[in-house]
Structure formats: structure tokens, C-alpha cells
Chains A and B, each alone.
Chain A
């Protein structure tokens, strides 16, 4: 149907926004990832390791 758009706007480029963006792109949609800051990554990019496996956050 022509009246629906095949693209999605995601506000926030943190771990949730990025994951949604990647899944939607894989599902066949075009994504605009709108981030307030100058780079995506959100708070998780500030974490050194994650609980409980101590995996590198980046």
C-alpha cells in the first residue's frame, strides 16, 4: 500500500536505539537514527565492563 512509509524514526542512539535500528534495517526498513549528541553509543559506551560476564561494553 502506497500510503504507508517503509521507514522508521528512532530517537536516541544508545544501546536500545542502535539495536532497534539494526533489527529494523534487517527486517527491511530504512531507519533514521536521531541522536542528540555528536556520536551514538549512549551510556553504554562509557561503561568499561558489563555485569555479570565482564564483557567489554564497546
Chain B
């Protein structure tokens, strides 16, 4: 959405990359562009062309579950918000017949004279983010897809459960249109399957399957849902918790089996599988959902040839653990699913990370090509008039209009005082609708605008920008949330929901009447970064900030740099970890823009984004540091178990301890023939609730190392779910081929480590296949102990940056702001955010560096105008506000020998705690004055008739 509004992002649609010539910093890229046949600038997305088109075709956006026409827009919020003509379907393009659409288009936007063209672009860097491809239908047909209509893919379920999708949110069987009662989800379709060439794990299907199933249950509570998993791979931050909640809330059944094929039996679908006890089972279902994996894009070869970079053996972009976002050609980077299968938070993280890489490369040319957006000056004469309020009621497709009578709400708005314009809009956030709203504001000289739609949390800035574009102060805007807080929650009571929408609109109008313009301010930025922690994450982030041209100070509590990276011997792709560390430390040490404080502790932090002042204690000496941003990279530690004889018997060790031992070579395994590894020690409901994410891959890699050093050694891995996601699955497959034994255990039957008489160890576990407890002799018992957060409470308080229940730092938004914390100017990376592997840490550290450099590069930060204001004539200087403010944004100052409160505008978040507690009502909130709020409350109490 925002991308469509930036003046520095030029979108070229229907376009493909043909070639990239030149060198890093100065490439010449050739882009081929097919015509849209509809002029983007002229099209108003009115849809008239579509209505007159005589040519129906299948809608690919809706997984061919609906019918559309040759002129089309993919979805109402699409960017560019203009129609285009599908040349394959269009009669005019193919046969020179029919010209109906061009004749009906009142905007004159349809232009059949458009020709394909080649565009030459001079760019400093190229980023490849083409996403992923679809699993071939041939693979799906093994599960009956294409033959049995009630076998559907997860993509089809996404569209079926969507309220604006082809079935308006109802999950139906495609064979008879009836609601299914029993649904089976088959996992790993097209993933972890070497027969179809995809040996890797797609990393996202477990999560989306749970999500889709939960949404189905919300729509149809009676339906029974069964999942067929090999391993449940919900290793992401907070994902295990979400899965467990979903499992118990919706009583999902989880079967651990891979179903080989699907048969149709009497209009139902028959599944046959072998359970964990070795028994063959069969059952009938009404619907089968295939959780299809991610594949390399179909055009991966074309992209790699055009960009001149290599692909890996699965045809994704070839990268390394050390440089996960760099392709084999310098200056050409990659992010997202093309780099390897991954979910949204990780794609977003990589996307920011890759921005940092391009920014490092092109630091010298920063700002040479950009343009700044200017707004017309505010029309101050508008406010001399009485409030002239415009009310726009949004349909949000069927999200609101499916429940609320939008037209009735619109007409009701017309009866309210000071409302001079009222209208309803299909999607108020679409670009064409915004243009229309802007025009209406201007033409009707509106000086207050109310939009009844979704949440200001997501859409207020967008609408405020529309006001600004026509010279209206953005504070003269109010939203009524008739979607999230009305249509969605009262989906079964349309009449009451319509009434509530009217109430909300009446309240919003009452408040809008009293809104006053607010000035937004900007403050300067100190162009230095403070990095807390000198491990792999901290050093990577600092190097990136420095390469982007800004000074950096690393504060490390230990006397050496390196953190946990110093204990790693080799990476998942077999690289020498100590060498990577040494190179990193050398670069940090030599970089003129980086300073390092060792044995240092952060004592205090004050200030706000752009202007922080911190004190750091180094060997009893306290230094004061001024800086603009903070990067938190404090890492985590290896968990220390209190069980399994750890610390009592030197044959019991952690994976990292085994790694240190194996690094010594063959002698380290002298007299060792049986190695037993135990997964999830400390993690996933043991001492800690979270999954530590990296231990499965670590165990498999170490198991392979044992086999490499001593091929006749026996290695057993006792696990709960093997979570070797992504390309790590290759290591798991290799381990099984090498004869390493993997045995699953449940939380109720944890393995035990016991001393035996022969000075060795016995590992006792429950074998499901035999249904009995077995004893294994072990020369070494290796515990996969997981990642424990360091005690972050002190730092959390210092920074006012919240922690998760597990004790890691909490990001501002799990999907869209994965490396920022809620406090502006503070960024997050590495193990302090949650367990992750080295490549993920590197990508995240780069991402944090990109985000941190944004305010440094801008040189100024703008402060939200929604801040508190103290009427010092009324203030009695009691100091209650200062003690309550969670952002250190209000302080007591001396005014004429008396103490008075004063807001530090740049720190203020506009939360209103001070205003609500002030005993003399001396504090008012910008945009939320007492007067306006009271008016809103009074309006709530008014009945509809009274207003009339």
C-alpha cells in the first residue's frame, strides 16, 4: 500500500529482467515490458470495461474458482490501482475483433496501440526477490488432485476462507457445494520428497495448515479436522505456543504418518496410512487439503541467466551461511523465498537486510537520485468557516457491507449536524478511491473528514496523507471503526451492527466537530549508533552501519568480541566458523568508523530517537555517550540442564561441548562406539516453553561429523519432531542414509540417562514400534540443550523495551516490523530476539542495521503531533505525571520559582496516561482533548431520534 505512494519507488508491471551488464555500483539492466493496454494514469478502476467484455475467463487470483473477463484488476486494493487487459483472453488483441471496452471507457484509458518495450535502467545494485513457484500438478495428482474435486490445495482453501473470495468465506466441497464435516490436511505435499526432486522442507506449510484449519473451525465449528504430519515444524518465535492453543481450542487431531495416496470411495475420500505402532489404518473424509510446498520460481533459470548468478541444486538462489543474502555475482543480492523457502517475518527481515547490503555498496551515491514529496500549503482559511464535515462509509468489499447496511449508515450520516457531504465507497483504501475522496474534500471545502471503515491502527496515516494532499491539516480527521469493532464481531446480528455503526459515526462526527489542527515537528539526529553486544549479530550490524557511512560504538560486556559465535566450530554448510569469526573481528577492529568498548556495561539510557544519551561503565570508569539509535544484540546462552546426569558424569555433554571435542579430530572418538543424542533438553515444555530452533540441525550436523570421523560408530538421535527446516533437510536425509538412527519420543515419556556398572551410560527410552522400554548403552550422551535467554530484565527496563513470556525481546510487529521494538530508535537482532541459526542472525543483523540507518540518513525525525500539552497556568507541579510516564517524556522544570510539568515532545508517544491522571486537568492530548472526548461520549448517549 505505502509502496504505491512513495515518489522514490517506480513500479514497472508486466515486466521481466533480460540482462544485467556492468559492475557493482554501476549496472546497466535491460527490462522488457509487455503492454497493459490500459493507461495506468487515466484508468479510474471503475470497472465499466469488465462489464462490457464478452469474454469470460478463469480467475487465477481466486485459484480459478471464479470467472472474470479480459480487462481486469487482480483485487480491489491492487497497486497500481488500474485495470489491465489479459492479452491471452482479449478478442481485440488476438483477432482484431471487438472493441467494446474501448468504446465504453469514459476515461479514454484503453489503448490498443501499446507495444511491448525494452527499458534500460542504470542502477547501482540489483535485488532478486521473485518469490517462489508452485508445485507441479503432476505431483499433486498422486493425491487425487485434478481427479477428485474434493481434494483441494491450501491455496484454494485460502481463497475459499476469504470473505471476499469466490464462496464469500464458506468452505464448501467443490463436488456438491455442501459443507464438509470431516477434513484431512496432508502435509509435506511436494516437500521433503525426493521422488519429486524437492528434498527440502518448505518451512511454512505446518503454520499455514494450522491457520487455515483454525479459520475453517471459526466458520464451521462442527467440522472435524485431522492433520497428517511427519514432524510438526512450528519452530518460529511464538509458533509452538500458537499451535498448542489452536490444537486444544479446536480439538484438532494430529496423526503422525505420511499418507501415500488418496482414493475416492462413494463420494468420500479414503486415506490409508501406517501409524507409529506399525498398524495399517484407513478412514473416510469429506475433503482433503493438500498442504503444498514452495518451489523455486518457474523462471529461476531465466532470472539466473539474466542476472548472471548461480542457482543451488534445488534451483533457488545460491548463497552461503556467511553471506546469506549475496548471490554468486557481486552487487546482485537476493531476499525472500527465492533465497530458500521461508515465511513472512523472515522474508521481511531478509528484505530489510538486503536493503542494507545495497545501501553499503552505494553509500557514496545516497540521495543522488531521490526526489522529495511536497504537499500543498495548508489552507488556513478553511478553519475560519463552521465545521464542514464529510463522512465516507467504506464497504471494505463484503467485510463491512456483508453485515452492515452501509447505505443506511451513509444516509444516517447526512442527518448529523455540520455534515455537508456523505458517501459510500467500495474500498476506501484503494488508490482510486483515495483520489476521489481527495477531490471531494477539495471541491466541497471540507474542513473535517470522518471515514467509517477499519482501524486507524493500520489506515489512519493513509487517509491523513490524503487530507495533506489537498492542503488540509491531517489532525482534522477521525475514523469510526465499523469493521474490526463492528461488522467482524457482530457478524450474526446485521441489524444491531448497522445501528452500532450509526452510533459510531454519530460519535465520530461529534468529535470531529471539535478537532483542531496540530503542527508536526522534526528534530535533528545524532548520526551515531550504539550497538549493545559484540557477538556475531552485534558485529555484523555494526559493520553494516559503518559501511553505510555512520559511526558506531560496540559495547561488549565480556573482555573479548565473539559471543556464542566463538564456540562454533563449523557452520551448517560446512564452513570453518573460527575463520569467519576472525575475519569479522579483524574488520571490526580495522574499521575507522567503529569503536569497541570491552568489559563494558550500559548503565543508563535517556533521550529519544535521534538524541539518546547513555552512560557506559568500563572498569569502574563511567563514560557518557551521545547517539541517535540503539541496536540490541545481547545474544543468549546455552541452557544448563539439571538432569540427565549433566555435570555429574563427564560422558554427558551438550552439543557445543561435543562440537569442541570433535574439532580435535579422530582421537576425540577413541573408544567411543555408541553416541546417543537427546533433543529438546530444556526446550518445548521442559524448563523452557519455546523451541530452540537450531538444535535439530546442530545435532544432525554433529551426528554426521561423528560418522565422518568414525564410520562404524552407532549414533542414535532421540527426538520429538525433527525440525531440520528449509535446506537443512538435506543434512537430515544424509544422516539417515548414513545409518544414523532417529527415534521419536513424547513429552510424557522423556528418555532417562543412567549410570551403568561398566562405567558407561545407559539411555532408557520408550520405543513406540515395539511398545516397550529399551535400554541403549552409550559411550557418550549428548544433550541438545537449546537456547536460554540471558537475564534481559535490567536492559528491558533501561530501554523500556518489552520482553516475551520466554524472556526474549519483543519486536514491534511479528510480521511487518520484526527487527524494531515498540520504542522508536531501538532495533533488535540475533539471539536476543529469539533462537536462530547463524545465517538467520546475519540476515537479521543486516536488517536491523538498515532500519537503524534510516533515521541517521534522513538526519531528522518527525515527531507525531499527537503529544501531551501542559497548561502551566493550571499545573500545580505535583509530579504525578512525571512518575507515571512510561516513556520518560514529561519532566518537572522550574518556572518562576515554581515547579511545572513540561512535555518532551520528541519522546512523547501520546498514550495519555499523564492527562488521565492529572488532578487539575492541566494536561490535554493533541487530537484527544477532553472537550472532544466528552462530546463523543455525549453523542454515544444520544438516541438516533434525538439527533434528528
Which A residues are CB-close (under 8 A) to B365?
1, 4-6
- Say yes or no for B352: interface residue by CB 8 A criterion: yes
Contact of A4 among B8, B9, B26 (CB under 8 A): B26
How far is A12 from B303 in the complex, measured between Cα atoms in Å? Answer: 11
Contact, CB under 8 Å: A7 / B12: no
Interface centre among A12, A42, A49 (most CB of B within 10 A): A12
Chain A nearest CB: distance from B674 CB in Å? 40
Contact, CB under 8 Å: B210 / A51: yes
Main secondary structure, interface of A, reads: mixed
- Say yes or no for B884: interface residue by CB 8 A criterion: no
How far is A36 from B147 in the complex, measured between Cα atoms in Å? Answer: 31
Per the 8 Å Cβ criterion, residues 836-864 of B in contact with A are 850-851, 853-854, 857-858
Contact, CB under 8 Å: B8 / A31: yes
Contact, CB under 8 Å: B127 / A40: no
Contact, CB under 8 Å: B11 / A15: no
Chain B nearest CB: distance from A54 CB in Å? 7
Interface size class of A (residues with CB under 8 A): 35 or more
How far is A24 from B851 in the complex, measured between Cα atoms in Å? Answer: 10
**Which residue of B is nearest A15, CB measured?**
B347
Interface with A: B129-137, B269-277, B553-561, which one? B129-137
Contact, CB under 8 Å: A51 / B207: yes
How far is A44 from B711 in the complex, measured between Cα atoms in Å? Answer: 46
Contact of A43 among B131, B165, B361 (CB under 8 A): B131
- Say yes or no for B737: interface residue by CB 8 A criterion: no
How far is A51 from B170 in the complex, measured between Cα atoms in Å? Answer: 20
Chain B nearest CB: distance from A22 CB in Å? 6
Which B residues are CB-close (under 8 A) to A28?
366-367, 370, 857-858
The interface on chain B, measured as residues whose beta carbon lies within 8 A of the other chain's beta carbons, has a size of 99
How far is A35 from B16 in the complex, measured between Cα atoms in Å? Answer: 7
Contact, CB under 8 Å: B15 / A48: no
**Which residue of B is nearest A22, CB measured?**
B3
Contact of A15 among B214, B238, B351, B361 (CB under 8 A): B351
Which A residues are CB-close (under 8 A) to B8?
25, 29-31
Interface centre among B127, B238, B239 (most CB of A within 10 A): B127
Which B residues are CB-close (under 8 A) to A44?
344
Contact, CB under 8 Å: B336 / A12: yes
- Say yes or no for B79: interface residue by CB 8 A criterion: yes
How far is A13 from B14 in the complex, measured between Cα atoms in Å? Answer: 11
Contact of A52 among B14, B25, B77, B207 (CB under 8 A): B207
Contact, CB under 8 Å: A3 / B11: no
- Say yes or no for B195: interface residue by CB 8 A criterion: no
Contact, CB under 8 Å: B347 / A16: yes
- Say yes or no for B52: interface residue by CB 8 A criterion: no
Contact of A12 among B26, B241, B338 (CB under 8 A): B338
Interface centre among A26, A39, A56 (most CB of B within 10 A): A39
Chain B nearest CB: distance from A57 CB in Å? 8
- Say yes or no for B122: interface residue by CB 8 A criterion: yes
Chain A nearest CB: distance from B224 CB in Å? 21
How far is A17 from B131 in the complex, measured between Cα atoms in Å? Answer: 9
Contact, CB under 8 Å: A53 / B370: no
- Say yes or no for B17: interface residue by CB 8 A criterion: yes
**Which residue of B is nearest A1, CB measured?**
B364
Which A residues are CB-close (under 8 A) to B67?
none
Interface centre among A24, A36, A58 (most CB of B within 10 A): A24
Q: Which residues of B are interface residues toward A (Cβ below 8 A)?
A: 1-4, 6, 8-17, 25-27, 29, 31, 36, 61, 73-75, 77-80, 84, 121-132, 155, 158-159, 161-163, 165, 207-208, 210-211, 214-215, 238-239, 241-243, 246, 299, 303, 307, 335-338, 343-344, 347-348, 350-352, 354-355, 358-359, 361-362, 364-371, 458, 548, 814-815, 850-851, 853-854, 857-858
